[in-house]
A = this chain, B = another copy of it.
């Protein structure tokens, strides 16, 4: 299952150290101007090596569209695209052929398929997420025309967290620092934490908050296709994601119904709610309020230090320290969260129309 979406659908392919990563985007509305600069800029936000926090792997990550566009506009036929991998030092990974790295997918892929590509994690590498950034950028181009804006930011790194609501921050500050946190003070603390942990050869996790503004009411499906269930599935498909909640989420149990219910009122002719604990979704369908949710991420499993593990024959062994890697995935996961949110929202809007 390498396809996501119902009407607007991304099918992705590619391994970390194969020839290329790529995909097919089906169901894109026709007549859309493909702004390649914007798409590239969205991919660049995910690219390694963009700051001192990220792995220095050097990839230009240029996307090439192979179909579905004529004279700059989408034609309604599928958009095929590829991003060539430049970094294919397969021999770097020879030592991983028979070793199962802890908390990676080496062992589980072997159990699932009886074979695996050990180079950089193969298909399980987060490098696959650049296909989502491509599809997400296109979805954003469509949503922008409808006045819908999606913004994600790092709201927690290790034990440092933003306590307030997204409304308490100036989200335009998110891209001004390497951790992508809209609170400059907390951003500096997070950055220091990440650098310190990295210095120890270790890694750290965190959480990302995402806000979607401008979605009209009535978008979603009841029962199994609830919008928040689709958003949850989308987010939990991102590498290292461990949890998802929306609205007041895991804090909801702390409120009584009378405190938590979002009272409706007449806001100058428009039906609105006084509070938004629901996170913009009631019964799986939007109510016109802001949608917001959180995604928890574990620390990166690849360490710059040795770890105990076993090989495929069951022999206990020591995994060498990795030479270089991100100490925290959060900054580079922010654009991926936005991309998956954009794909999901567009897909649901097309399902309703």
Stoichiometry, copies per complex: 4
Q: Is the interface of A mostly helix, strand, loop or mixed?
A: mixed
How does the 8 Å CB contact mask read for A1-31 relative to B, with 1 for contact and 0 for none? 1111000010111110011111110100011
A: number of interface residues (CB 8 Å)? 142
Using known A-B contacts A100-B264, A122-B70, A253-B156, determine if residue A287 contacts B229 with beta carbons closer than 8 Å: no
Check B205 against A76 for contact (C-beta < 8 Å): no
Contact for A217 among B77, B107, B226, B281, CB less than 8 A? B107
- Give A266-280 interface residues, CB cut-off 8 Å to B: 266, 269, 271, 273, 277-278
Chain B residues whose CB sits within 8 angstroms of the CB of A287 once the complex forms: 107-108, 111
Check B66 against A82 for contact (C-beta < 8 Å): yes
Chain B residues whose CB sits within 8 angstroms of the CB of A277 once the complex forms: 103, 298
- Give A52-70 interface residues, CB cut-off 8 Å to B: 64-68, 70
Binding site for B on A (CB under 8 A): 1-4, 9, 11-15, 18-24, 26, 30-31, 64-68, 70, 73-80, 82, 100, 102-105, 107-109, 111-117, 119, 122-124, 128, 156-159, 197, 200-207, 216-226, 228-230, 232-234, 236-237, 239, 242-250, 252-258, 260-266, 269, 271, 273, 277-278, 281-288, 296-303, 305, 307-310, 314-316, 352-353
A228-B236, A245-B250, A353-B353 given; 14 more Cβ-contact pairs under 8 Å: A2-B225, A12-B223, A70-B115, A102-B261, A107-B282, A108-B285, A124-B283, A202-B258, A206-B253, A229-B234, A242-B246, A253-B299, A256-B299, A258-B303
